[in-house]
Structure 1
Amino acid sequence: MTIKKLPACLALICVLAAPEITNAQTAVTDNSAYILTPKAGPEPHINGPKIFGVRPGHPVLFTVPVSGNKPVQFEVGKLPKGLRFDKNTGRFSGAVDKPGTYEIKITAKNNAGKAERPLKIVVGENICLTPPMGWNSWNIYATKVTEDLLLANARAMVTSGLIDHGWSYMNIDDVWQGERGGEFHAIQPNPQTFPDIQKASNEIHAMGLKIGIYSTPWIESYGHHVGGSADNPEGTFVRTPETDKVPRNKKLFPYKIGSYMFVDQDVKQWAQWGVDYLKYDWNPIELPETKQMFDALRASGRDIVFSLSNSTPFASIGDLSKVSNTWRTGGDIRDSWKSLKPRLFSQDKWEPYAGQGHWNDPDMMVVGVVGWGKDYHPSNLTADEQYTHVSAWCLMSVPLLLGCDLTKLDAFTLSLLTNDEVLALNQDALGKQATVISRQGDAGVMAKDLEDGSKAVGLFNPGDEGTKQVVLNWADLKITGKYIVRDLWRQKDLGTFEGEFKADVAQHGVVLVSLRKAK
């Protein structure tokens, strides 16, 4: 059976070009006609991961994401010793000393009904058992980030409802740094832009969110701020106009790893602040500095997700992946098809290193309002290209880090980021990364197995020749028989198919489906 003339954005409406942005400061792109995600009902729905990892004795920080009418009342089954649960907020806290796997039944009730789902809490050495979901400041604010902007976006993460769908990390990128000092002689925040990181961290945690920070083993960061090493025991770095003018070419870089390292001091400070995520940024990424930071984070008393940036050398990924949670597989992304397209069918070689606790990272997301500190504008990606972006990132089980202004989320962007059937592909407990199973000219099919035994499949058309029919053959999935094909963006079954499924996919678009065995 063939699905004919499926429109743009999952090929289910006619192809329309995204409006051209003429004034980057004030333009608004109205993509409301492209919204495919059905509106959520009033009844509660438990979202997010079904598995969560924490190290023995470390603080548990997990908010159960639930959509539907508020307020919601929660109930849980028997908890392991040391674990606490707030029935009003749906937040787990405390600490569990005894390693093991604990299955906990969660019930959420509101005025429209109730929902139940199990959560598996794994106490052991492996954390970050599903890819992190959250926000990073760089793609919107770059060097203009401030504590006020961080908190404004954290509040928007809650008021927009994104927190109800599993989005949780609020990560500060480069240029928060001031001088060394304080109790640990660690990097302190710039008092003009980040007057009280401790207070900000407390506020973010009180919202049920988590906080991340940025550092580098170099003596200075990409943004010309103090790094994690120095050429003097005081750990000082002086920024000058001359250093700012040096090209960021690694052959000419003045940036280097200094003779004195301050890893232990900095990690103690982050742990005191309650940091949950570290972006560690330099090039080339090498094992000694990675292992040193990994060991310090492990000894910190907190579970701090360890993310390597940027352009991780593939030749070293076997060793680096064992001492990090995520690693960038390339350079920085921009909101253009030229930047996005090369990341679609190029990640397969990294797939053997991905799995629970360890994730390939093709970079942050470029939907919504972005701008890198100037000319803030709606993403230059068309609606179809944004569907492709989110679909591919979810299929590949990579970190989902929004790079947009969360205080300016339009209805279309929210629909991209709150489709729980799509996000579930990213958060699937099996932790598989989709790979390319078929190439059809410029088009191709990516697929992966899911924990419940079903398949997730993306039919992509990255070419420039208009709508194209893409075929999913059962043989490429190594299956036979009848399967129910479900359109994940529309959350709607398309019918029962045998042998193959065909769809007309819009230029730069995608058809994202799941396959489950027909009874």
Structure 2
Amino acid sequence: MENMKNSKHILSCIFMIISIGLFLSLSINDVEARESETTNKGTGPLYWITYEHQYVNDCPMPEDRWKANVDWIASDFRDYGYTMVCTDGWIEQSQKINENGYVISHNDSWQGDWTYWVEYCNNKGLDMGIYYNPLWVTQAAYNANCEIINTNGQYHIQDIVGSHVFDGGQNDEDGNPVFLYQVDTDKPGAEEFIKGYVEYFKNTGAKFLRVDFLGWYESGYTKIRNDEWESGYGSERYEKAIKWMNEACGDDMTLSLVMPNLYNKAQIELANGDMFRIDEDCFEGGWDHISHRRRGIWQNVWSQWANAFDGFTYWSEVTGRGQAIADGDFLRLNTFSTDEEKKSAVSLFTMAGSPICIADQYDTIGNNEHFYQNTEMILLNQMGLVGKPIDYDSERWAGQLPDGSWVVGLFNRNENEDIRIIDFHEDLGINGNADVRDLWLHEDLGSMTDYSANLDSHDCVILKIVPSGKKYEAEVASMIGAKKDNDHNNYSGYGFVDNMESVGSKIRFCINTDNAGTENLNIRYSNGWEDTRTVSLYVNGEDVTQLQLLALEDWDTWNNYEETITLDEGNNFIDIQYDSDDTGYVNIDYIELGTTGPDPLSTPEKYQGEEANLSGGASINDNHFFYSSTGFVDKIESVGSKVSFDVTVPEDGYYNVLLRYANGNSYDSSLSIYRNNTKIKQTVLPSLIGWDVWNNKTEVIYLDSGSNNITYKYDSGDGGRVNIDYISIEANDNTMPIELNNPGFETGNIDGWTEWHPSDQVAAYGVDQNDVHEGNYKLYFWSESAYKQSVHQIKTGLDNGTYTLKAWVKATAYDQQPSICRLEAVNYGGSDKFVNMTVDGIWRQYQCTVDITNGQIDMGFYCDSFGRTSMQIDKIELWKN
């Protein structure tokens, strides 16, 4: 984006953050998408842009520097698939025009015009893109009052210019202000001027048009130079402009929309652009651009989300083949602090199907080229991968390639090491094992059913997962006018697609076959209506048949519809679409080629918060994003507020009770859990980034056969003030928790534990609220001088058998490493077990397994330190295996 150094702080002042509920009330059902070669590919281009030089130096790029960078890209990146270069902003000083008022080059100081440089790039094996907004009119064109093309002299430049100007704060060589007039699309001749501009750029041979500052045209902005408000032209005139650009671009030019407001779920941009920006400018780059900037905070105008993680997550609903490409702006890998961050940045953009746009230059790239040159990651872009965040979790992404294989991205946006897990069956719908490959290590990891990654801060892992069959999950397909949901049961993967409720709604799958011919296609659907519903099946754009989807028992029941189809060799589009002669309103789980596989295992039973019994002020709302079904519960803000669920289970036993919650407070909170009116425990609900971020907290609870009541209540010792989406219930067949005394030290002391230290030494332990892992308190060992300290608890009355002891510990040496720092399990009928801590200042979970033969266990922690060793201890658990 042009000259945003000075405007960054001004823009932030004019944006008003309003209720997110306004946007949730807007349907995406009637949205159309631009059908083009670019959108059908699904992913953005791999290319280089001039932005870094212009942003850092606040001036246009000199022509000799442009040439040096073009030559560098051709030499070092073209053969990896980076086949385009593009100019960027700081364009006001381009005042040389042709007879129709169109600028002829990036800057008046350049000797080569657009055509010259397109040909130069082509000779290097590169396409060229141009940055310019066809709504702009230079002062030179206005003063010359050029004749507008294709109007037979009837209209001239001054006839179409509106009363508002674009002033980016630039000056000419003499220090005089340089600004741009803007076209008023309500005026006769405006359409010919705008379309003519696009055709002019196309005729130079350019393949890509990057159109900037669209939000300012639509809604207005504050002038950089004098801090005055400049009104916009409104959405109707803006839509006409974008529509004309779309029509002029056709299939010959990719239309990139930059800085759009994206009102009404990007309805205008989806219908008319190939790609649109979803976050703020790169600016200084680094992790701030990718993750930190205004994290979790939404606003109703450009840019709705500031960082790439948040933007890609929110706009994932409208990305995919036949929809739009989400553009995360540029990457400047030379601005990142660690290799982990660089890897994560490239990985996130790849998973989201974004362009990978290098803004580093030949003399600033350093030793970072190899991050852009990972051929296994590049292949994902070339195969059209557009992933989705699993349940809108920005740190877990999944997508399918046309061959049916999966690509999974696990990310850690946080400052500390953290664990990310993918369950192949639960999250991806894979039955049995699948082959796994790490695309950054370039290593085959073997056959697995799940994968757990212990990720360093800002790190990631990208996995390719190859199952045995060819099943394509709807929740990661393209959804045009439809949406992903999971508010019913017994689906495959992490969701299904519903909202096929208006003509034009469709789900698009891209599948690849080695040979042309006929295939058996199985479509798994749900129809909870009382009558047969219909949707239409298209293969490669051809209307094949109308699907007659029989009524089923309820929306938790699924059925298979089989059809024989003819496929081409290579990629094929399969669309399930609501046409004008259909009745629609069905849910689609997946499609499958070949022999129909086994039905998915039953999913955990879900109980929606908005259908629970609410009291004490708790109420239903929908003013945040990414909840399941129709809403969630909030206003759990005073003691006595509660949400009660009536649940049914088939038999007595322990069950995993998962609570999906949001906690946008700056502190960890808690609620008390009641089973059948008896309080059984307090559940701690860690703070999240914002109210649009949801997390799961699972507790193991014993339930009786038949009906039970589970209540989450704000008691006097709780923090409350969280939102509840739903709970789900699943049998726990393998383990059961053992109740310990004060396992998280939430009493504020060591009640239930016994401490020991040498008689000639002062105690070196305490309980405080600093840097806790979970809840409000934690135990610590510490002394400036040498010390020995232990804390233990004996649990008796246990059935003999195998148990797992777990604890979270953060051990830090501020001087010499301690002699001993460990978890201890003794006096259980077997040999003493010790688990040594990693002394690195990171919270880690440690565990050990013991075979108890005497009905008890003595568990605890011990540190032998030379002094200045901190051992912090929290959340101790004992599980019966």
Shorter-chain TM-score tier: 0.5 to 0.7
> Which residue of structure 2 lines up, in the alignment, with residue 105 of structure 1?
none
Where do residues 46-125 of structure 1 align in structure 2 (5 Å cutoff)?
none
2:172 corresponds to 1:172:
no
One of 388, 396, 405 as aligned partner of 2:361: 405
2:130 corresponds to 1:213:
yes
- Name the SS for the 1:181 alignment partner: coil
> Which residue of structure 2 lines up, in the alignment, with residue 435 of structure 1?
389
> Which residue of structure 2 lines up, in the alignment, with residue 485 of structure 1?
436
2:71 corresponds to 1:155:
yes
Where do residues 413-432 of structure 1 align in structure 2 (5 Å cutoff)?
413-429=368-384, 431-432=385-386
One of 467, 472, 475 as aligned partner of 2:417: 467
Change (3 A) 1:226 1:254: closer
Q: Which structure would you say has the larger Rg?
A: 2
Task: Look up the equivalent residue of 1:206 and give its one-letter code.
Answer: N
How far apart are 1:185 and its partner, in Å? 3.5
Contact 2:36/2:274 (8 A) holds in 1: no
One of 355, 363, 378 as aligned partner of 2:320: 355
> Which residue of structure 2 lines up, in the alignment, with residue 294 of structure 1?
246
Task: Name the CA distance, whole Å, in 2 between partners of 1:240 and 1:450.
Answer: 43
2:273 corresponds to 1:318:
no
How far apart are 1:125 and its partner, in Å? 5.0
Task: Look up the equivalent residue of 1:433 and give its one-letter code.
Answer: G
Contact 2:341/2:459 (8 A) holds in 1: yes
> Which residue of structure 1 lines up, in the alignment, with residue 50 of structure 2?
137
Task: Look up the equivalent residue of 1:315 and give its one-letter code.
Answer: N
Change (3 A) 1:358 1:215: farther
How far apart are 1:317 and its partner, in Å? 1.8
Task: Name the CA distance, whole Å, in 1 between partners of 2:135 and 2:275.
Answer: 20
> Which residue of structure 2 lines up, in the alignment, with residue 97 of structure 1?
none
Change (3 A) 1:315 1:139: farther
How far apart are 1:154 and its partner, in Å? 1.4
How far apart are 1:236 and its partner, in Å? 12
How far apart are 1:214 and its partner, in Å? 1.4
1:365-405 CA deviation, whole Å, 9 max, x = no partner?
3234xxxxxxxxx3134211111100000011111111110
> Which residue of structure 2 lines up, in the alignment, with residue 62 of structure 1?
none
> Which residue of structure 2 lines up, in the alignment, with residue 192 of structure 1?
109
Change (3 A) 1:423 1:147: same
1:233-281 CA deviation, whole Å, 9 max, x = no partner?
5979999999659xxxxxxx99754456432332233123211110011
How far apart are 1:428 and its partner, in Å? 1.9
Change (3 A) 1:182 1:236: farther
Task: Name the CA distance, whole Å, in 1 between partners of 2:67 and 2:332.
Answer: 20
Segment drifting more, 179-188 vs 226-235: 226-235
Task: Look up the equivalent residue of 1:140 and give its one-letter code.
Answer: H
- Name the SS for the 1:188 alignment partner: coil
One of 217, 232, 241 as aligned partner of 2:158: 232
1:310-345 CA deviation, whole Å, 9 max, x = no partner?
144141523421221111112212313222114224
Task: Name the CA distance, whole Å, in 2 between partners of 1:131 and 1:484.
Answer: 28
How far apart are 1:419 and its partner, in Å? 0.8
One of 415, 439, 456 as aligned partner of 2:407: 456
Task: Name the CA distance, whole Å, in 2 between partners of 1:480 and 1:292.
Answer: 49
Task: Name the CA distance, whole Å, in 1 between partners of 2:167 and 2:254.
Answer: 34
1:37-62 CA deviation, whole Å, 9 max, x = no partner?
xxxxxxxxxxxxxxxxxxxxxxxxxx
2:400 corresponds to 1:446:
no
How far apart are 1:137 and its partner, in Å? 1.0
Change (3 A) 1:315 1:515: same
TM-score (norm 2): 0.38
- Name the SS for the 1:364 alignment partner: coil
- Could you say which structure has the higher helix fraction? 1
Task: Name the CA distance, whole Å, in 2 between partners of 1:424 and 1:344.
Answer: 22
Task: Name the CA distance, whole Å, in 1 between partners of 2:325 and 2:170.
Answer: 31
Change (3 A) 1:436 1:312: farther
Task: Name the CA distance, whole Å, in 1 between partners of 2:318 and 2:382.
Answer: 17
Contact 2:278/2:308 (8 A) holds in 1: no
How far apart are 1:455 and its partner, in Å? 0.8
How far apart are 1:217 and its partner, in Å? 4.5
Task: Name the CA distance, whole Å, in 2 between partners of 1:510 and 1:483.
Answer: 20
One of 308, 313, 325 as aligned partner of 2:257: 308
Task: Name the CA distance, whole Å, in 2 between partners of 1:468 and 1:316.
Answer: 33
- Could you say which structure has the higher strand fraction? 2
Change (3 A) 1:192 1:510: same
Task: Name the CA distance, whole Å, in 2 between partners of 1:127 and 1:193.
Answer: 31
TM-score (norm 1): 0.63
- Name the SS for the 1:513 alignment partner: strand
Task: Name the CA distance, whole Å, in 2 between partners of 1:327 and 1:205.
Answer: 26
Contact 2:340/2:458 (8 A) holds in 1: yes
One of 317, 336, 339 as aligned partner of 2:286: 336
Task: Look up the equivalent residue of 1:363 and give its one-letter code.
Answer: G
Change (3 A) 1:254 1:367: closer
Greater RCO between the two (CA within 8 Å, min separation 6)? 1
> Which residue of structure 2 lines up, in the alignment, with residue 507 of structure 1?
457
Contact 2:340/2:459 (8 A) holds in 1: yes
Contact 2:165/2:182 (8 A) holds in 1: no
Task: Name the CA distance, whole Å, in 1 between partners of 2:257 and 2:141.
Answer: 18
> Which residue of structure 2 lines up, in the alignment, with residue 282 of structure 1?
213
1:1-40 CA deviation, whole Å, 9 max, x = no partner?
xxxxxxxxxxxxxxxxxxxxxxxxxxxxxxxxxxxxxxxx
Task: Name the CA distance, whole Å, in 2 between partners of 1:225 and 1:393.
Answer: 40
Task: Name the CA distance, whole Å, in 2 between partners of 1:198 and 1:306.
Answer: 19
Task: Look up the equivalent residue of 1:489 and give its one-letter code.
Answer: W
One of 13, 37, 57 as aligned partner of 1:126: 37
1:78-121 CA deviation, whole Å, 9 max, x = no partner?
xxxxxxxxxxxxxxxxxxxxxxxxxxxxxxxxxxxxxxxxxxxx
Task: Look up the equivalent residue of 2:256 and give its one-letter code.
Answer: S
Runs of 4+ aligned residues of structure 1 deviating over 6 Å after TM superposition are 224-231, 234-242
Task: Name the CA distance, whole Å, in 1 between partners of 2:343 and 2:203.
Answer: 40
Task: Look up the equivalent residue of 1:432 and give its one-letter code.
Answer: V
Count of residue pairs brought into register by the alignment: 367
> Which residue of structure 2 lines up, in the alignment, with residue 396 of structure 1?
352
